[in-house]
Amino acid sequence: MKIVHVEDFIHPDAGYQVNLLSRLQQIDGQEVSIVTGELDKMPDWLTGFFGIDRIEERDARFKKETGVPIHRVPLHGFYSGRAIMHFWRLFRTVAKEKPDVVFVHGEDTLTGMLFIILSRWLPYPIILDCHMLEMASLNRFRKYFRWLYKRIITPIILSRNIPLIRVVDSDFVEKCLGIPLSHTDLLSFGTDTLHFSPNPENRRAKRAELGLSQDAFVVLYAGKLDEQKGGAFLSSALCEKLTAPNERELQFLIVGNSVGTYGEQVEKNFAASDNVIKRLPTQRYFDLAGFYQAADLVVFPKQCSMSFFEAQSCGCPILFEANEINTQRAQFGNAITFTGGDISDFRQKLMGLVALEQEALDAYGINARKFIIDNYDFVPIARQFTAVLERALVASTAKSQRT
């Protein structure tokens, strides 16, 4: 089956869903390609984390490593979190791939809505997905957008029976867009549990490489250091000295780029911290395994990200803010939540984990690994995604034969 993934923004060095899903589908015997936007007109808050220098070379490396080519379409611009691609170039690029099925990521992006509106005349079936949560939908015009979506786009999705996959367990599509949950499939995010796994030997080697003590309690943050991910919150929370009650040495490993004036303040806070902080730039997705393996605890100062799955798969306990999704994920003795935006509570919960006996901390790690293996092993999950695509192709073929 020839699968084309269409996504507004893709970076070949990232660990986004499409990066991992396309690779696993290719390994599983499908022919896969990605169509996405060029990066020159993308906002800094998207591109600054990994950078866009030598992007053609990095795209080529992704193809060499995964077998999946990335085709980039010029942009008119980027507005309100959505790419505005050159309309005809987008559809021509997809058509040249001669897909059996097209997976359009983001049912409420401009790209997604164009595919939905034109779906009747496309020579291939489309499948949609939704990553949205109510808490992440902050656009001031969202009420008007949702009103229009319910009256124009949703009826098309339902009348043409376009499959929609929810990748988070939320009622967002029903509550905000009027799409019944019964119309959707719920398939989670996940991770490659073979690559991201506990490894004591790698732990020792990575700590030695980074100059971290083998006996220290190492707290890791790996990700964006922008406002959305709480870069300033984290750097402010670490300004004052944190001392472990058991007198164990406490060290912090902060991995990720910061951008702009916001990033400058974040870096000033880290530089002025009374704590021991090892600062590193953004790393490639598959290189992150060694960092998680070296850590005793991983923190997410705001929201969360797909890095949660990789960290837990490596047996790392998590400390993250209490929100709809994180509270669900922390019910299995694998993670702890703190009150969002509350530095005092963050520091208190952090030190509570540092003070745990090793056996109790190890139990969090064991539960974390089990939680991922039982629920978020992306190898079988990727096959479930492929099954939805195959189902859409069969339905489309049957419909064509009837007409």
User: What is the domain count for the chain?
Assistant: 2
Q: State whether 242 and 179 are in the same domain.
A: no
76 with 117, same domain?
yes
| Same domain flag for 142 and 34 | yes
Q: Please give the Cα distance from 341 to 232 (Å, whole number).
A: 10
Residues 305 and 353 in one domain: yes
Residue 195 lies inside a defined structural domain of this protein: no
pLDDT value for 135: 45
Report if residue 262 sits inside a domain: yes
Q: Domain containing 367 — which CATH number?
A: 3.40.50.2000
pLDDT at 136 (0 to 100):
46
pTM: 0.79
**Together in a domain, 93 and 141:** yes
Parallel, antiparallel or unpaired: strands 75-79 and 82-85? antiparallel
232 and 173 both lie in a single domain = no
Residues 210 and 185 in one domain: no
Q: Are 6 and 93 members of one domain?
A: yes
Alpha-carbon gap, residue 350 to 347, rounded angstroms: 5
Q: What pLDDT is attached to residue 242?
A: 96
Q: Clarify whether residues 159 and 273 are in a common domain.
A: no
CB atoms within 10 A of CB 182: 6
The per-residue pLDDT for 132 is 76
> Which pLDDT score, from 0 to 100, does residue 275 have?
97
- If DSSP states are collapsed to H, E and C, what string results for the chain? CEEEEEECCCCCCCCCHHHHHHHHHHHCCCEEEEEEECCCCCCHHHHCCCCCCCHHHHHHHHHHHHCCCEEEECEEEEECCEEEECHHHHHHHHHHCCCCEEEEECCCCHHHHHHHHHHHHCCCCEEEEECCCHHHCCCCCHHHHHHHHHHHHHHHHHHCCCCEEECCCCCHHHHHHCCCHHHEEECCCCECCCCCCCCHHHHHHHHHHHCCCCCCEEEEEECCCCCCCCHHHHHHHCCCCCCCCCCCCEEEEEECCCCHHHHHHHHHHHHHCCCEEEEECCCCHHHHHHHHHHCCEEEECCCCCCHHHHHHHCCCCEEEECCHHHHHHCCCCCEEEECCCCHHHHHHHHHHHHCCCHHHHHHHHHHHHHHHHHHCEHHHHHHHHHHHHHHHHHHHHHHHHHC
Does a structural domain hold residue 185?
Answer: yes
Is 390 within the bounds of a domain? yes
Cα dihedral 24, 26, 27, 30, rounded to 10, equals 120
For residue 355, being part of any structural domain is answered with yes
Model pLDDT, residue 63: 97
Asked, for residue 114, whether it belongs to a domain, the answer is yes
Same domain, 171 and 226: no
Q: How far is CA 118 from CA 49, 71, 87, 89, 113, in A?
A: 34, 21, 12, 15, 9
The whole-number mean pLDDT for each consecutive block of 10 residues of the chain, a chain of 403 residues, reads 97 91 95 96 82 94 96 91 91 98 95 97 97 62 90 97 92 93 92 93 98 97 93 97 89 94 96 97 93 98 88 98 93 97 98 96 98 93 96 91 73
Q: What is the per-residue pLDDT for 133? A: 62
**What domain range is 260 assigned to?**
200-375
206 domain residue, yes or no: yes
Same domain, 94 and 212: no
Structural domain contains residue 207 = yes
Note whether 217 and 181 are same-domain residues. no
Q: How is residue 364 written in tokens?
A: 């969090």
